[in-house]
């Protein structure tokens, strides 16, 4: 859970720097990819017999997709992105990708969206291959009244709100969700004896669909209301299920519980494909530009690591004069004027921290986004220090953080009051606002 929480915080740091993401892409592995079938078919196997091959091929496809997004500029200049890999219960991997576009590539109107996202069948005469790909990979259902037993049906309604309504142009509703153009063109496909038209087409990008021949859902997202959902969805972790183990009486259909294991276990399901993915050391989560998580601490309260067999005196002697990432920030500001106009969180934009030498050096290329580690309000002085580190620049010591207009105050909380950061319940309001960005409904309540 902490891993997922940190990833969500990192994504929010990117969002703070670049604004709302523009596109949400879901790429699902296709077990019938030629690369997979060329290996398993001659050996009389199926794709699920070789999860290692499935994992390797999907990683190759994902790497190619990310390269096309960054360098190929399919959607224009991409300035940032993040992805998370998940695994379906049948084992196939899929990637959830968020990307931030730059400059003229931003999608601002319905016409801009139509240039990169389609939710219609193409003309089967002019584009037969694309039409076949849409039919094979980008159709939802059939569900609704046509098939009430489909997996997406809950309480008589489709959870994905299919079939959609016909409409002649792409619009964005008041809540920030797009309604894609779905014209009644008369083009359809029959599946399970049910005719499916544009109302059942999942939004896609024609270039990506023809290149990868897999289910690649491309969605527009550029409104604050959808940010929380997207980041929670991308970093939610694997699905969970409750399982009970029991014995069935041979002489009757009545189930008889086993006393020793007649309880529910909280377990994680690890599919063979996910196991192969982790054995190969492939990333489950990745992002660019990198987000640098910055640690900080009160005077003489830094974290210290040591081995069980070490004497406490030896540990104290080794660490008492050792600089931390936070204290070396003070020294960097004492020795150089280059970072005096930056807060601690902004410092990685121009400097790089060398963990071995424990020094900050001037960055030669690229940049990194700094993020202060989360601290709950109940922590006390450490929380107030974090508040000050978001505004105090060029600090050279712990006391300089508590100094305002040449006056040194006793506590960090007092400085927050002087600067008006806690006036009129501001402390609690900011805490609630921060929680609203990441907290789910039960957590907020």
Predicted confidence at residue 264, as pLDDT, reads 54
Predicted confidence at residue 137, as pLDDT, reads 94
| C-alpha to C-alpha distance for 132 and 128, rounded to whole angstroms | 6
Q: Interhelix angle for 426-438 vs 2-18, to 10°?
A: 110
Predicted confidence at residue 424, as pLDDT, reads 66
- What does the DSSP 8-state code read for residue 159? T
| C-alpha to C-alpha distance for 115 and 205, rounded to whole angstroms | 9
| C-alpha to C-alpha distance for 392 and 412, rounded to whole angstroms | 12
Predicted confidence at residue 89, as pLDDT, reads 64
Residue 286 CB neighbour total at 10 angstroms: 17
193 contacts: CB under 8 Å, gap ≥ 6 = none
The pair of three-digit structure tokens given for residue 328, joined into one six-digit string: 């070396």
Predicted confidence at residue 129, as pLDDT, reads 95
Low-confidence ranges of the chain (pLDDT < 70): 1-8, 89-90, 222-268, 423-427, 438
Predicted confidence at residue 288, as pLDDT, reads 87
Predicted confidence at residue 248, as pLDDT, reads 58
Supply angle C-alpha 223, 224, 230, rounded to 5: 90
Backbone torsion region of residue 43, taken as left when φ is above 0, otherwise alpha when ψ lies between -120 and 50, otherwise beta: alpha
Predicted confidence at residue 268, as pLDDT, reads 67
**Which has the closest alpha carbon to 378: 326, 329, 330, 435?**
435
Residue 396 CB neighbour total at 10 angstroms: 16
| C-alpha to C-alpha distance for 247 and 257, rounded to whole angstroms | 6
**Which has the closest alpha carbon to 357: 322, 397, 306?**
322
Kindly list the distances between the CA atom of residue 279 and the CA atoms of 3, 57, 259, in Å, as whole numbers in the listed order: 18, 15, 36
- What does the DSSP 8-state code read for residue 71? I
Predicted confidence at residue 1, as pLDDT, reads 47
Q: Which backbone phi and psi does 394 adopt, to 5 degrees? A: 60, 35
Predicted confidence at residue 62, as pLDDT, reads 96
**Which has the closest alpha carbon to 37: 21, 48, 27?**
48
């Amino acid at each position: 859970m902490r891993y997922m929480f940190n990833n969500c915080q990192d994504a929010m740091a990117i969002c703070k720097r670049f604004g709302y993401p523009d596109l949400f892409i879901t790429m699902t592995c296709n077990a019938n990819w030629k690369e997979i079938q060329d290996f398993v078919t001659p050996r009389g196997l199926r794709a699920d017999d070789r999860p290692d091959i499935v994992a390797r091929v999907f990683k190759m496809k994902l790497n190619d997709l990310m390269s096309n997004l960054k360098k190929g500029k399919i959607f224009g200049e991409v300035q940032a992105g993040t992805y998370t890999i998940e695994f379906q219960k049948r084992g196939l991997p899929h990637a959830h990708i968020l990307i931030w576009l730059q400059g003229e590539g931003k999608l601002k109107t319905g016409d801009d969206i139509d240039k990169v996202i389609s939710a219609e069948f193409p003309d089967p005469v002019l584009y037969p291959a694309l039409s076949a790909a849409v039919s094979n990979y980008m159709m939802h259902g059939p569900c609704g009244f046509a098939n009430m037993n489909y997996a997406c049906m809950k309480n008589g309604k489709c959870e994905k709100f299919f079939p959609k309504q016909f409409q002649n142009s792409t619009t964005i509703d008041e809540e920030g969700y797009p309604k894609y153009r779905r014209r009644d063109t008369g083009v359809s496909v029959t599946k399970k004896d049910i005719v499916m038209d544009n109302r059942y087409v999942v939004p896609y990008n024609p270039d990506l669909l023809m290149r990868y021949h897999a289910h690649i859902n491309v969605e527009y997202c550029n409104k604050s209301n959808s940010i929380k959902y997207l980041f929670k969805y991308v970093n939610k972790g694997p699905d969970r299920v409750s399982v009970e183990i029991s014995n069935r009486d041979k002489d009757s259909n009545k189930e008889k519980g086993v006393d020793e294991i007649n309880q529910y276990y909280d377990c994680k399901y690890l599919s063979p494909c996910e196991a192969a993915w982790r054995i190969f050391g492939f990333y489950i989560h990745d992002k660019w530009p990198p987000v640098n998580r910055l640690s900080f601490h009160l005077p003489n309260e830094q974290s210290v690591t040591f081995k069980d067999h070490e004497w406490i005196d030896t540990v104290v002697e080794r660490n008492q004069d050792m600089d931390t990432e936070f204290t070396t920030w003070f020294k960097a500001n004492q020795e150089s004027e280059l970072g005096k106009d930056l807060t601690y969180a902004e410092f990685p934009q121009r400097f790089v921290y060398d963990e071995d030498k424990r020094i900050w050096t001037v960055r030669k290329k690229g940049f990194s986004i700094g993020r202060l580690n989360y601290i709950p309000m109940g922590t006390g002085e450490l929380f107030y220090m974090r508040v000050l580190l978001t505004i105090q620049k060029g600090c050279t010591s712990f006391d300089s953080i508590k100094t305002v207009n040449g006056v040194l105050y006793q506590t960090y909380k007092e400085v927050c009051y002087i600067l008006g950061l806690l006036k009129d319940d501001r402390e609690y309001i900011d805490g609630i606002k921060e929680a609203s960005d990441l907290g789910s409904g039960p957590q907020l309540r």
